[in-house]
Structure formats: structure tokens, C-alpha cells
Amino acid sequence: MPRPSIELGGGAPLLDIASYGRRGPADRVHLTQKEIQLLSRTVRRTPEVMVKVLTQGGRDLNAVGRHLRYLSRRGELEIETDGGERLSGEGVEQKLVEDWDLDLDEVRQSKELRPCPRNLRPKLVHKVVLSMPAGTPPDRLLSGAQAFARETFGAEHRYAMVLHTDEPHPHVHMVVKAVSEDGVRLNIRKATLRDWRREFARQLRAQGISANATDRAVRGSTRPRLADGMYRAMQRDASRRFPVNMRSQCMERNAASEASSTESLLRTRTQVEGGGGWRWRRSWIVRAREIWPGT
């Protein structure tokens, strides 16, 4: 097929209409089956899993013991270890600390040649929370958490977990030893959390629970999540930074300001319609002539 051209008179064409763009690839890029399933779950708004790492505590034996006592409700709930052992009763946290040799790790930290501030000490354990929305079967959630822990930590890092059902949404608290059996420290990054969410969602789907793990930007959610302590303070109406009734206060203030502005406009309109505007203008003209007699 000849290329179209425009000629004016004789000689070479002044305008050559042709496309010099590169031809696209012969085969189009197709989505994989996993990507199609992920898009399908996201469009259907499948419940999202939550994997949260608590940043406070876990740097000394006292903090670890307090956290384990809180998880077991002082021995009322069972703590399941990585070996399948179930611990319950008073003083189970001390048995777990001795089994993991956390006292030796704390001694190694204190034998440094230079002083180390308390808040900069390496963590002895990491505190992880695995959660799903209300209505999720707790037994299946626990089974998914167990499979997730086996696949993620395996024989490298010691771990223990407790299932909590005292809130509408069931969740599993997991304590992971920071230093592996080979002496390798577990460093948790943002990419690590993304991988953990995907793995946890996959294990829940294997248990028959509809679960998804996508980023907030993919779901169209751009509002950042509040810190756990700030959220709970807002629920108690005790937050100093974000009071619960802030929105209502702003709406009341805006309504009062709008009412005041409307009242002022109506008053001015009444004055103008009644001739008050002309009297106000004449008074200013008289005052100006007193100040500047030549005006």
C-alpha cells in the first residue's frame, strides 16, 4: 500500500503523512491466574487480613514476662509453642523465657563496652498480631496462624501464640524470638510485612476463609491508620490530640459563624431598604468635610 502524501505543484512533497512509531509486540501481555484471582478478590471487597507488629517493649526480661502474662490472662489461656506444647497456669511465662534462653541474650546485651540506652537496646522478642474482621471462625483463624508460623519461621525462630476472642474480631497474638537458633537476628521491614500478609491470607484461604492482602493504594484507601494507643484513647473519649467530638464541634462552630453572617447580612439589607444606608453615607460625608474643608 503506497504511503499517502500531499503535493503542491511539482517537486518533492511538502507533507508526508506516515507513522514512524514502533509497532507493538505481536503477543499481548496476559495476566497470570494468581493476578486474576487477586483482582477478583479486590473487586469483590474480600476481607483484608491484618498483620501488625507492636513496637513497644520486648527489650528486657521484665517486659517479655509482662507481655506473656497479658497474653495468657495470667495463666487462664493456653500458650501454644512452636513444638506443639500447650502451656497454661501460673508462671508459664517464666518457663518459656528459660526455654528460649532469653536471659543469656539479655546478658550479652549488657556486656557491651559502650553504654547502651534502654530504648535503643535490641529486642529480645517481636510481638506480632494476626487479625481478621468480626465473624471469622476463631478455630480456622488459629489453624491459619499455625500454618503461617510454620511456613514463615519454621525451625529458625522460636515462637509462641495465643488466641483471643474477647473482642468482636478474633485475633492471634504471637511472640517471636528475635535471634534465631543460628544467631541471625530477625529484622522486620515494610517488605517483610507485605510478604507476611500475603502468606497469612494464603493460609486462611486454605482453611476456607475468604481473605485478601492488598496495599491501601490498590484498594483506593489513602487515609493512614491511627496508632493503636491513639485509637483506643479516642474510643474512651480521652484523646488529647484527636477528640471524638472534634467533628461535631467544628460543625457547630461553622453553623454559628454562618448564622452570625446571615444575621449581619439581613441587618445590613434592612438598613439599606429603610434608608439607613444613605444616612450612614451622609454622616461620613459631613465628617469628611469637617476634616478636609475643601472637599
> How many domains in the chain?
1
In a domain, 293, yes or no: no
Residue 95 is part of a domain; what is its CATH number? 3.30.930.30
In a domain, 176, yes or no: yes
Q: Using an 8 Å Cβ cutoff, are 33 and 124 in contact?
A: no
Segment holding 261, helix H or strand E: helix 246-273
- What pTM value is reported for the model? 0.64
In a domain, 1, yes or no: no
Residue 119, pLDDT above cutoff 60:
no
Q: C-alpha distances in angstroms, 276 versus 28, 205, 260, 279?
A: 77, 76, 20, 5
Q: Domain range holding 196?
A: 50-220
In a domain, 99, yes or no: yes
253/206: higher pLDDT:
206
For residue 265, what pLDDT is reported? Answer: 72
290/233: higher pLDDT:
233
Residue 205, pLDDT above cutoff 80:
yes
What pairs with residue 54 in β-bridges?
A: 127
Q: C-alpha distances in angstroms, 264 versus 20, 246, 250, 256?
A: 67, 27, 21, 12
In a domain, 268, yes or no: no
In a domain, 32, yes or no: no
In a domain, 5, yes or no: no
CA distance 153 to 267: 74
Q: Cell 445590613 identifies what position?
A: 268
In a domain, 271, yes or no: no
**Which amino acid does the sequence have at 249?**
Q
Q: Using an 8 Å Cβ cutoff, are 141 and 133 in contact?
A: no
235/89: higher pLDDT:
89
pLDDT band at 113; cut points 50, 70, 90: very low
